[in-house]
Structure 1
Amino acid sequence: MQGTEKGYLLNSRGDLSQIARNAANRALALGAQEVVASATEMAGIVMRARRGVFENAVREGAQFVTIRVFHRGRMGTATTAALDPDAIDLTAGRAIAIAQTVESDPDAAPADDEWLARSAPEIEMFVPSGLSAQDLGRIALEIEAGCIAEGEDAVRVGEAGAASVDACSAIAIGRDFDRSLIGSRHDLWCTALGERDGMMAQDSWSSTDRRLSQLQSAALVGATAADRARRKLGGRALTTRTCPVLFDATVAASLVHEIVRALGGHAQVRGATFLGGGIDSQALADHIDLLEDPFEPFGLASGACDGEGVVSLRRRVIAGGRVQGYFLSCLYARKLGLVPTGNADGPRNLHFTSRDRAEPLDAMLRRMGRGLWLTELIGGAVDPVSGAYSKAAAGFWIEDGEVAFPVQDITIAGDLPVMLRQIVAIGSDVHRNGAVRTGSVLIERMRVSGR
């Protein structure tokens, strides 16, 4: 069993804070004009089972220090996996040397003091499991048993796994800013293979949370994977048509990720975005909101600040379909003449919602009536400038609000600017996929083609 103070970690939060502070001080002493130093450790156990035995058991662990120095618009970064003073001195020297060789960018600098998260509240995210490798192995075997019991001989287990990981990161900026963050993450997953009359189909299911107590049961994870694989058996292609498409909640997060990329600083500065209308432009249907909440307790993407020390913001990125903000690091905020948003490491907990009444999945299918219920995106591309959208996909054809048959070997296509304005509804069947929570998303019409 692991202690509750550090979980699987070798260093305490205080240890890593001191390491980061020492690294910053050494870089300054060696001549750096400005410095951002961070110290990170992650550790945990991953167990995988197949056919009643442990197929793979891994005790994970990594630690590293990163030093980023700035001198008259020049930036140099170096990293070391060793935490001793000599290694940190060598790393600081390398960062300084790199900064002397690169071209100057007047916007390359640490966060301005007023941007730093000096008084942002702590967020509860650290609930170590205390599970041993044997404990996690037993859970993996329970997942596998749940899959086999549900599917009987028609379903085989590709892989069943359980993991528990703790991580801590500390940042030190200049001579007087220090901040740290510690969190846990626990995962259960299963991949299942269904077979019927010589045809095979594969699907998976998983459960992730920072609290072990909030995970789905091992048996349910396995059973859900089996059911998802079995229901795909007998899939067929469709003839080319234009029809409504319901993005299942498990894949609807992909639409949010496209919005995030389009509103990112890199895309906005270069004009490589299909959402280039600026703040307050109408980008989505007028009933759609996108809320970012970095302070959600136990959120998978929570954080009081980003890796630049910039304070996180609880805000509406989209309100009534109108753009209210971007996702900006310090560099791109300066280039746009704006303030950074605390997103140097990516978006925080995003909630994609409709102001209209949210309905459960079965009601969303009835509302669509006839069309494609999209449950899997297999590959494809999105043009970041035009928003031209084309993805290989699979799902179910719906007639009169009911599943008619599974669908495979199809491609869906459209233009994201149009698709986002044609969002008819967002369901109450909310699914969390990393940093994004959304229900199923119904789009008025898209092009569906057989492959």
Structure 2
Amino acid sequence: MNTITTGTFAADDSLQRLEQLAGISQRLLEKARALGASQAEVSCSEDRGLDVNVRLGEVETVESTHDRGIAVTVYFGQRKGSASTADLQESSLEATVAQACAIARHTEDDAAAGLADAALMARDFPDLDTWHPWALEAHHAVDLALACEAAGRADARIANSDGASVATAQSLSVYANSHGFIGRERSSHHSIGCALIAGQGDGMQRDGWYSSAIARADLQDPEAIGRRAAERTVARLQPRSLPTGQVPVLFAAEVARSLIGHLLSAVSGGALYRRASFLLDSAGTQLFPDWFAIDERPLLRHGLRSCAFDGEGVATRDSALVSGGVLQRYVLGSYSARRLGLQTTANAGGVHNLKVAANAGDLPSMLSGMGTGLLVTELMGQGVNGVTGDYSRGAGGFWIENGQIAWPVDGITIAGNLKQMFATIEAVGSDVDTRSHVSTGSILVGRMTVAGDD
């Protein structure tokens, strides 16, 4: 095999490339000003990565990537135009600015359009420890993937494999605007995963496991990932359904964060100003039990989504999203904030690191506390109505009796209403899944409808 690496940015090279991207952004802002734009903003990015996939002991794909992009947005008063390119030649950059200006001249005025307020721009840029590139050669990545899959397939009950993968990526980005703001970011992300199949014929079950982190040292060992994938897959063999009824439902940590995702969707500015959310006018109201809390920590060192500024250059800060069970604020960028008559919450581009406070122990202790009910480890489908909050999704997992796993469960639907589900959360575990910027343990909802065999 030819030697292929990620093309990882060396430490000095990455800083040099950031300065080059910063220089490009400044030239583009000057061109926009020269063409009559009253405001402008530029986003520049450059990404490098390596992605390897193997299956049944053979290499399937080896992909090395090197991508870049330049996006320009200009404002003529309150008329907006945007254009983008991946070509860094001066003629292409000039044409991109000209295209954005032409678009702006033909759009309608929008009272909420424009840059975020200049007074809100970030001025401090601490080192948040998000840059840990991995100089991974393709043959080494293949070896890691093969070792991961082999460890999983060592279990005689594993009949087949959907493969194993190893991926690494590094990203450089610059955001600048005509307020004089310029922000630079370096970030890395790595992952190893495996998906396996157990059983035969109609009795086949598929599951897997993966590890992801911003630093190679934080990843689980490939063999441990493979063994965990096998354990999870074999545990699903010979599933049963359940009679329809109402039972406590414990969402395992790896799926519990989807509940927080539904909350975020409902309190995001876009859903609110379109009046397409079941949580309209909910800021300041009690949505959860009085012990429940979610904090956003964008300045967390070594966090998966840490940054000193949001997608508009607004300074981020630690703040509560939910405190004492009460929704403290919405999730807003400047545009949605203006549409709602509010101020941005420095969430242009999304939330940063969310921490859901625990009030319970690990998963075994939560199972013991629940006694009898359903442990959900897999969710399927998109049966969530953002306007009404109605929730209905296919699910798989395990039936729990006397605090212990009794048998695997498949082919069921769990249903409820998110507002009611939030209000009846009984516990959040300490078994935090660290693979997401939404950091939560397992979440126990007191009662939901489970639809299976009657």
TM class, shorter-chain normalised? over 0.9
Q: Within 1, Cα distance between the matches of 2:317 and 2:220?
A: 30
* Partner in structure 1 of residue 409 of structure 2: 407
Q: Within 2, Cα distance between the matches of 1:23 and 1:278?
A: 41
Matched, 1:201 2:205: yes
Pick the aligned partner of 1:72 from 73, 77, 81.
77
Pick the aligned partner of 1:112 from 89, 112, 117.
117
User: 1:120 touches 1:311 (CA, 8 Å); kept in 2?
Assistant: no
Q: Within 2, Cα distance between the matches of 1:377 and 1:198?
A: 20
Question: Which residue identity lines up with residue 113 of structure 2 in the other structure?
Answer: A
Which secondary structure does the structure 1 equivalent of 2:264 belong to? helix
Question: Which residue identity lines up with residue 83 of structure 2 in the other structure?
Answer: A
* Partner in structure 2 of residue 271 of structure 1: 275
Question: Which residue identity lines up with residue 350 of structure 2 in the other structure?
Answer: G
* Partner in structure 2 of residue 44 of structure 1: 49
Question: Which residue identity lines up with residue 407 of structure 1 in the other structure?
Answer: V
Pick the aligned partner of 1:4 from 2, 10, 26.
10
Pick the aligned partner of 2:96 from 83, 87, 91.
91
Matched, 1:289 2:297: no
User: 2:21 touches 2:44 (CA, 8 Å); kept in 1?
Assistant: yes
Pick the aligned partner of 1:419 from 401, 421, 429.
421
Give the number of aligned pairs: 447
CA displacement, residues 308-361 of structure 1 (integer Å, 9 cap, x when unaligned): 11111211100011011111011011122222122111111111124x3x2110
* Partner in structure 2 of residue 313 of structure 1: 317
Which secondary structure does the structure 1 equivalent of 2:69 belong to? strand
Q: Within 1, Cα distance between the matches of 2:259 and 2:179?
A: 42
User: 1:5 touches 1:12 (CA, 8 Å); kept in 2?
Assistant: no
Divergent runs of 4+, >4 A: none
* Partner in structure 2 of residue 123 of structure 1: 128
> Which segments of 5 or more consecutive residues in structure 1 lack a partner in the other structure?
none
Instruction: Summarize the alignment of residues 5-404 of structure 1 with structure 2, pairs less than 5 Å apart.
Output: 5=11, 12-149=17-154, 151-174=155-178, 176-195=180-199, 199-354=203-358, 356=359, 358-404=360-406
Which secondary structure does the structure 2 equivalent of 1:417 belong to? helix
* Partner in structure 2 of residue 434 of structure 1: 436
TM-score normalised to structure 2 length: 0.95
What is the CA-CA distance between 1:198 and the residue it aligns to? 5.6
Which secondary structure does the structure 1 equivalent of 2:431 belong to? coil
User: 1:27 touches 1:89 (CA, 8 Å); kept in 2?
Assistant: no
What is the CA-CA distance between 1:20 and the residue it aligns to? 1.6
Over the aligned positions, Cα root-mean-square deviation in angstroms equals: 1.7
CA displacement, residues 171-206 of structure 1 (integer Å, 9 cap, x when unaligned): 110062111101110110111111158610001111
CA displacement, residues 244-302 of structure 1 (integer Å, 9 cap, x when unaligned): 00000010000000110111011222332222243221011111101111112221111
Cα distance, 1:91–1:3 mapped onto 2, change above 3 Å: closer
Question: Which residue identity lines up with residue 285 of structure 1 in the other structure?
Answer: P
User: 1:50 touches 1:159 (CA, 8 Å); kept in 2?
Assistant: yes
Which secondary structure does the structure 1 equivalent of 2:357 belong to? strand
Q: Within 2, Cα distance between the matches of 1:6 and 1:222?
A: 36
What is the CA-CA distance between 1:432 and the residue it aligns to? 2.7
Q: Which 10-residue stretch deviates more, 308-317 or 268-277?
A: 268-277
Q: Within 1, Cα distance between the matches of 2:251 and 2:209?
A: 17
Q: Within 1, Cα distance between the matches of 2:412 and 2:12?
A: 48
Which secondary structure does the structure 2 equivalent of 1:432 belong to? coil
Q: Within 2, Cα distance between the matches of 1:293 and 1:145?
A: 39
Which secondary structure does the structure 2 equivalent of 1:122 belong to? coil
CA displacement, residues 204-228 of structure 1 (integer Å, 9 cap, x when unaligned): 1110111100100000111111111
CA displacement, residues 61-95 of structure 1 (integer Å, 9 cap, x when unaligned): 21010000011211111000101211111000110
What is the CA-CA distance between 1:433 and the residue it aligns to? 4.2
Q: Within 2, Cα distance between the matches of 1:179 and 1:124?
A: 16
Q: Which 10-residue stretch deviates more, 277-286 or 38-47?
A: 277-286
* Partner in structure 2 of residue 444 of structure 1: 446
Question: Which residue identity lines up with residue 18 of structure 2 in the other structure?
Answer: R
Q: Within 2, Cα distance between the matches of 1:41 and 1:124?
A: 19
What is the CA-CA distance between 1:153 and the residue it aligns to? 4.9
Which structure has greater strand proportion? 1
Q: Which 10-residue stretch deviates more, 191-200 or 24-33?
A: 191-200
- Report percent identity of matched pairs: 35
Question: Which residue identity lines up with residue 414 of structure 2 in the other structure?
Answer: I
What is the CA-CA distance between 1:148 and the residue it aligns to? 1.3
User: 1:251 touches 1:376 (CA, 8 Å); kept in 2?
Assistant: yes
Cα distance, 1:284–1:246 mapped onto 2, change above 3 Å: same
Q: Within 2, Cα distance between the matches of 1:171 and 1:68?
A: 11
Q: Within 1, Cα distance between the matches of 2:348 and 2:387?
A: 22
User: 1:37 touches 1:171 (CA, 8 Å); kept in 2?
Assistant: yes
Which secondary structure does the structure 1 equivalent of 2:232 belong to? helix
What is the CA-CA distance between 1:4 and the residue it aligns to? 3.2
User: 1:155 touches 1:230 (CA, 8 Å); kept in 2?
Assistant: no
Cα distance, 1:331–1:363 mapped onto 2, change above 3 Å: same
User: 2:395 touches 2:411 (CA, 8 Å); kept in 1?
Assistant: yes
Question: Which residue identity lines up with residue 340 of structure 1 in the other structure?
Answer: T
TM-score normalised to structure 1 length: 0.96
What is the CA-CA distance between 1:100 and the residue it aligns to? 1.3
